[in-house]
Structure 1
Amino acid sequence: MQVPTPLHLKSSTQDIKNRFNNDVERFSNLETGQQTTIDAAYNLDLITEGIVQCHPQLSEVLDLGCGAGNFSLKLALQQPGFNSTLVDLSEPMLLKAKERMTGVLNGNITTIQSDIRALDLPGNYFDTIIATAVLHHLRDDEDWQMVFSKIHRWLKPGGSVWIFDLITHDNPQLNHFLYNNKYGNYLSALKDDHYKNAVFEYIDKEDSPRSLSFQTSLLKQVGFSSVEILHKHLCFASFVGFK
């Protein structure tokens, strides 16, 4: 089994920014989402419909690591009256997201190019925060603690954060089975073993996901009153925390 890349040798913020700058169109499919992400389209619907059900009078929405804007656009198609704050490392992603939402969203669209770890936003301001396929770029425990604390601070009382991401499992044998074997088979079936190996290589180099139990426990630790698991399939999960 390959030894994972140590955190200090993972891709830099600039490396990640460069990759996403050159990959905008692949992240712009509202029907399928990311093919390498299991149940991407299902979770897109699940999260946006869940937000509408829990917050029928949305005012302010923050989309962290918005990419090309799939989740915010899908939400705007259902409830177009909110103001949207889009955050991403990549300026081309932000431009694409704003372009797609213009004319669909009735509220204001604000774009911020930033690493979420450096982001400074007002407290008690957002009704809901979307963080999909972004938190796996965090590194050590300090990163995770800081970002989850910020998310809690930025939300209004009663607000919620909706997360969908790659996860690990705390049990090594289970993690190998669900990630290397089962997810590996899924990737091979998309194209071939060469494709699977390429995906695993960039995940190892670029990402540092944490387990579902780690993240849900941390949400409660930083102050969220309740956390609900929405969906889990192999090494991908969606969940929500309420302030």
Structure 2
Amino acid sequence: MKNKSTLKEIEKRFDQDVERFSKLETGQQTTLDALFNMNLFAEGISTTYPDLRNVLDIGCGAGNYDIQLLMHVSPLDITLVDLSKPMLEKAKERITAVNKGGTIHCLQGDFRTVDLEPGKFDVIIATAVLHHLREEDDWKEAFARLYGLLRKGGSIWIFDLVEQADAALQRLIYQDKYGDYLKSLKDEGYRDHVFDYIEKEDSPRPLMYQLDLLKEVGFTKVDILHKNLCFASFVAFK
């Protein structure tokens, strides 16, 4: 895919957005049902793993999902991965305040290449990060690595931008319906601004493509948790 942002360019943009992403009312504004999915993940993970201990959050941002999870199950040993060092620092600061008795390990870089222990994690959280993957080989290799990082019985919880498989439905759901939502936040200029950086930075895949690929790399159970227009949350178990 030509002319897409490099990882360094994406890192630079998020370096400058730490404060915004530390506040749900601003950082998650363009993401449909962000707070709903955050609560859904926290409740779903804590219900599935009442004795949860080891959590990996890739593309952790300012740590919103981890803080929400800690309201349901605590303490936790949390590993945070993000391209942005300022984001990691903010996430560590915020999580430390509520994770009494737990540990926090921070790694700056690409989750596909940073040093992580195979088979260690009960749960992996991946929110608004996988859409930065590019070619099909990138997707398959990334999903295979995430599978390898989980213990048997562990699971990955994904919330992300998705495409429709049909071009006409993609125009309706993304350009028209999601576009109307973005205009309602501000105006047409804001809608166009968001569409421009999605076009530059992101390369999402259809939901069913991702569910099929999760099974292909070895996950035994996959399930859709929620979908609203071009955003979906889903889970896969090892």
TM-score normalised to structure 1 length: 0.95
Change (3 A) 1:220 1:140: same
What is the CA–CA distance in structure 2 between the aligned matches of 1:184 and 1:30, rounded to whole Å? 20
Equivalent pairs: percent with the same residue? 54
**2:163 is equivalent to residue 168 of structure 1:** yes
What do residues 180-232 of structure 1 show as CA deviations (whole Å, max 9, x unaligned)?
00000000000000000000000000000000001000000000000010000
Runs of 4+ residues over 4 Å off in structure 1? 30-33
**2:66 is equivalent to residue 96 of structure 1:** no
Letter of the 2:152 partner, please give it: P
What is the CA–CA distance in structure 2 between the aligned matches of 1:74 and 1:194, rounded to whole Å? 33
Q: Which is further off, 143-152 or 76-85?
A: 76-85
Unaligned runs of 5+ in 2: none
Answer whether contact 1:33 1:40 (CA < 8 A) is retained: no
Letter of the 1:199 partner, please give it: V
What do residues 69-94 of structure 1 show as CA deviations (whole Å, max 9, x unaligned)?
00011111221221000000000000
Cα RMSD after superposing both structures: 1.0
What is the CA–CA distance in structure 1 between the aligned matches of 2:70 and 2:27, rounded to whole Å? 17
Change (3 A) 1:80 1:32: farther
**2:105 is equivalent to residue 110 of structure 1:** yes
Secondary structure of 1:9's aligned partner = coil
Unaligned runs of 5+ in 1: 1-6
- Residue in 1 that maps onto 2:124: 129
Q: State how many pairs are aligned.
A: 237
Deviation at residue 117 of structure 1 after TM alignment: 2.4
What is the CA–CA distance in structure 1 between the aligned matches of 2:188 and 2:165, rounded to whole Å? 26
TM-score normalised to structure 2 length: 0.97
- Residue in 2 that maps onto 1:210: 205
- Residue in 1 that maps onto 2:143: 148
Secondary structure of 2:199's aligned partner = helix
What is the CA–CA distance in structure 1 between the aligned matches of 2:40 and 2:207, rounded to whole Å? 18
